Amino acid sequence: MPVWVRPPKFYAEAEEKCLTWAKHFGYLRAQREGDAGSRWDEWVKANETSPPMPDLGPLAFMAALFHKSGRFTRGMDIAPLSHAEIEAFSRIEVGVTVADMRLLRGMSVAFVDWITMGKDVFCEAPWAG
């Protein structure tokens, strides 16, 4: 097996961590109803530090790729990054594999879903750190 191929079991566990991270990030960044702002802003204001996030483990580099990719597409409303946008991003970002592109798409979908759900004041966090 070539060095750059990740074992399927490793990738499935690591992928789940990344998706949980993206869900929680979306939950924290959601603008809640009214003028309450986001949970992220409230935490930073109260604690002067970023809120705790799930551990990404061996795929910690995916957080940086997720931010560099733009996280979502903005139109009339926000939408997950399309496969074409992710492919275009992978052409300029060195070392992005097909598995990474699939995971970026999953993280974008999870982030946008939880931004939408997180607007509800009574929404429970997807991760309890």
For residue 125, being part of any structural domain is answered with: no
Taking alpha carbons only, the member of 30, 27, 95, 41 closest to residue 64 is 95
Q: Using one digit for the tens of pLDDT, what is the confidence trace for 115-124? A: 999 998 888 9
What average pLDDT does range 91-107 have in this prediction? 93
Between CA 53 and CA 112 the distance in angstroms is: 17
For residue 57, being part of any structural domain is answered with: yes
For residue 100, being part of any structural domain is answered with: yes
Q: Using one digit for the tens of pLDDT, what is the confidence trace for 6-45? A: 667 777 888 999 999 999 999 999 998 777 789 999 999 9
pLDDT given for residue 1 in this prediction = 40
Residue 111: exposed, middle, or buried by beta-carbon count in 10 A (0-12, 13-18, 19+)? buried
For residue 95, being part of any structural domain is answered with: yes
CB 79 within 8 A of CB 112: yes
For residue 1, being part of any structural domain is answered with: no
Q: Which two tokens stand for residue 17?
A: 């961590």
Higher pLDDT, 6 or 65: 65
pLDDT given for residue 10 in this prediction = 73
For residue 48, being part of any structural domain is answered with: yes
The whole-model pTM stands at 0.89
Q: How many domains does the chain have?
A: 1
Which domain, by its residues, includes 69? 8-117
